[in-house]
Structure 1
């Protein structure tokens, strides 16, 4: 067992709203909180708080309060930020829905979460309306933030809510027990599950990450990570606002717009997922923009290969950091400090690691075969084991799924992440791969992430994914799905030879399929289940 090397932090016993806004200074009220990259609308902290309170009041007047769940289906915008914090301010629980979901997916989540209201935007109204009807949500409880309003359509809009001028309610609840949000796990290998996170969980994770991420009021932070995902929700909608930074909000990732936004708004701090790092390292368009304001890029949501991270750092002249987390951990459990660790440890963490455990947490590595704890190394790397985490950021449970909860959180409060990891003598953690995704070839374990990182170093490969498939002898073997760089004629045999020359024999790729795009979740995780068709 090993603890975070950082001092424990105080975790206030307050709601998310009170943490972020209760003690805001007069000076900070007039700072810019949000800039919508599309359209350029600016929202000060004063305006944000006023709109959050008004939204909370309007929701309360419509019968929403403690014990209610409200669905929120929208891409990033200042409207999303107001609606999200308005739901929490009203004492309700927000279940944020993937903006790429079909009507069936949306309805499934709304029904499972027992949502009684859905907030969306015009672009997503067709699927939102179908899903709301399926989930038994009345038209007047389907709010379309940028719509034409209740009088014209039967669906209230943001203006209708603000115009009610209803006071924010005095919601009475215990922050340690009351659910703030109900996001759904990404479901990369199976059906998503509702992750029950309290106000204390979210408050704790802001407190745990604040000294390490070191965001400040002087930062302009690019908010392209989806707010509906726990990474964007905690790091941007909560931690960045707590730091009084300015969020430059983008509704989706598109490379030219992403680069242009950094240039135009002089963004200083970028939070990304590995697919964006691939574009920053390889795409020629990057050289057409002035990105000199950018000083730090932090990658999360999926493992970032060290070579890829170094390529981004060198090309953009920035510090690249990595973190690790999961929805069930609110989400950040490990991260490199903004300075890489120089001040506290005298050196930067290697990019192949995800940094150190955050304050107030304890870790274990456990051999999945024997159940025995793996010894902490005096130096060098430990043996690999499943990473277990205990701390105030661990979720309460999976909604309505006591068996999955018991399988994930043990009697001692450790959350079993399902990730295979190692730790070095300096306390830095290295993620090997998902336990369920390891390929078992002739008794050897082959981590797909290692092969994917290697494939990305090939100049003719723009993206790649690796899964285990069964050959004619019933043996599991590594198969690579490869996206070729346009204009190249890379062959399967060339891919196989490239990998074989650089790995141990048991790790060799033995099948290759070329595809147009690697399926990924909105947060950047490879959706391996979509690659596992019967023909593979």
Structure 2
């Protein structure tokens, strides 16, 4: 069976108009973002939702340029790694752009990480400098690395806490002269690495995903292609998605800024504050994750308190949404369309996206392939390509695909084959209209409220407990979170370890979203002959105990 989007070669292709990527290999991310600067200089680029502080594109260019020059003076050079450890703020994208602009490499970290979790990423990525805020300085001071503090000077002076160089963002900006004719961005090229964003990938512990300037430029062009096709301009995007994550950083921030849109920044999601921001700043587009869409659908009284008539689209990603949930949310936002998309850190954030102008609304699919992305659906057992309506593993290929995993060639080879196909570990199928449905995961990751939780990481931690002889972690369905981590634990002989003790042991060492919601004690962990945990049996056992 062949269709306009499915060829005899077994490859699915987008029917969207193609994107035209810059041919100049020296046009890196920051110059690409400001390529239309003369016509955008006085347009608003960033707004702080809480304080109403705003930056025009002229302000953005000035701040990024000044910080780039300051980084060079701090001896941050091409290919040096800079770690950004901060909650969302208008200074987050400025910091990111300044780092990648000079050819250095940005690695971002969840601000909720414990010192132990942060240490793993610091040891792996080996940063030369950390950009953070006062409230998080206690987590990084023992690394003895130079530091830039984004917090307002005077809110808390951390000088006595550092044995090495630290400085305030405001001092760096004020002491750097306005951008000169000498561009600080001349050294970066499209093939250079721009970011190391850590993901658990298809299996196992967190790994650094290597993304280039070309990857970000490609994703930005793919994400905003529909805006060009339909003549949409002067859009206002609300971003409460964490900017340390690829969804917030690449899709919600970089892609929209390079298109000339305004991004309203929230430090974190709170429903009423988000709705107030929609009303106050006339937000037209909002990116969200499933728990947000679920809550917006259930809280009609709260939603009705605010004027959300400006909102034209709510786009959801990170995990699949059911059709019923989408329809329930749509009732509270009759003027807006609710769409889904699909992406991974390994694809710089995008694979497919719904377009209600050409397809049915509330289909429950993740939409059609974005332009420039190819896809295969392979039979899990035979690895043969499958036609529409047959489920298999999703493989993708395109200019937005990662280069590999940092310092991990084995994991890279397991994920990217010799033809350049990225094996997503997800199970899905296409229908006869070219809509992609993601229905399950072959990989073992747990998706808790859109965050990735790797069972292997928690299992390794559990096994460090002196009274635990074996352990396995599985996901269980949850209406609010999507999935929750549940542990099966085998006690050591003569142990009387209790569930709460195990939960507290883990909670002290991990981010809140990785905490165990249940602990089930078992005499043994079922495994295959090769030693792999038989998680399906554990899921069945857990369901029988509910």
Q: TM-score, normalised by structure 1?
A: 0.78
Of 325, 349, 357 in structure 1, the residue corresponding to residue 343 of structure 2 is: 325
Rounded to whole Å, the distance in 1 between the matches of 2:360 and 2:346 is 28
Q: 2:148 aligns with which of 143, 152, 165?
A: 143
Residue 237 of structure 1 and its aligned partner are, at CA, apart by 2.1
1:62 correspondence with 2:79:
no
Distance in 1, Cα, partners of 2:379 & 2:427: 9
Contact in 2 for aligned 1:186/1:521 (Cα 8 Å) = no
* Matched ranges for 1:339-488 at <5 A: 340-342=356-358, 347-348=359-360, 350-374=362-386, 376-377=387-388, 382-437=389-444, 452=477, 456=479, 462=480, 465=483
Once the two structures are superposed, residues 171-202 of structure 1 have per-residue CA deviations (whole angstroms, 9 ceiling, x without a partner) of 424312x1011110157963211000000011
Out of 165, 171, 174, the position equivalent to 1:160 is 171
SS of the residue 2:401 aligns to: coil
Cα RMSD (Å) of the superposition?
A: 2.9
- Native 8 Å contact 1:32 1:43 kept in 2: yes
Which residue in the other structure is 2:31 paired with? 18
Structure 1 stretch 105-114 or stretch 34-43: which is displaced more?
105-114
Q: Secondary structure, in 3 states, of the residue corresponding to 2:37?
A: coil
2:324 matched to which residue of 1? Answer: 307
Deviation at 1:110, TM superposition (A): 1.8
1:263-321 residue CA offsets vs partner (Å, 9 max, x unmatched)? 22121111111111111011242222221211100001111111111111121112001
For structure 2, the residue ranges without an aligned partner over 5 or more in a row are 1-10, 160-164, 447-473, 491-509, 522-541
Shift of the alpha carbon at 1:169? Answer: 2.3
Alpha-carbon shift at residue 161 of structure 1 (Å): 1.5
Partner of 1:33, secondary structure, is strand
Give me the whole-angstrom Cα distance separating, in 2, the residues matched to 1:92 and 1:471.
44
Mapped partners of 1:36, 1:321: distance in 2:
26
Aligned equivalents of 1:332 and 1:530: distance in 2?
A: 30
Q: Separation in 2 of the partners of 1:69 and 1:266?
A: 37
Deviations 1:354-380 (A, max 9, x none): 001111121100111222221x23xxx
Give the Cα–Cα distance (whole angstroms) in 1 for the partners of residues 306 and 195 of structure 2.
38
In the TM superposition, what is the alpha-carbon distance from 1:217 to its structure 2 partner?
4.1
Instruction: Tell me what 2:190 maps to.
Output: 175
SS in 1 for 2:423: strand
* TM-score under structure 2 length normalisation: 0.77
Verify: 1:224 aligned to 2:240, yes or no.
Answer: yes
User: Which residue is equivalent to 2:279?
Assistant: 263
CA contact (8 A) 1:322 1:351 kept: no
Distance in 2, matches of 1:127 and 1:28, equals 39
CA deviation string 1:404-436 (max 9, x = no partner): 000000000000000000101111100001113
Q: Which residue of 2 aligns with 1:79?
A: 91
CA distance in 1, matches of 2:376, 2:219: 19
> What does 1:185-196 align with in structure 2 at a 5 Å threshold?
185=199, 190-196=204-210
Deviation of residue 38 (structure 1)? 1.4
1:212 offset after TM fit, Å?
Answer: 2.6
Deviates more, 1:79-88 or 1:182-191: 182-191
- Tell whether the 8 Å contact from 2:45 to 2:263 is kept in structure 1 after alignment: yes
The answer to whether structure 1 residue 2 and structure 2 residue 20 are counterparts is no
Aligned pairs (5 A) from 1:200-219: 200-212=214-226, 216-219=232-235
State the secondary structure of the residue aligned to 1:22. Answer: coil
Preserved CA contact (<8 Å) 1:145 1:156: no
* Residues in 2 aligned to 1:190 and 1:105: alpha-carbon distance in whole angstroms: 15
Gapped regions of structure 1 (runs ≥ 5):
440-447, 457-461, 473-519
Equivalent pairs, count: 450
The CA distance in 2 between the partners of 1:175 and 1:121, in whole Å, is 30
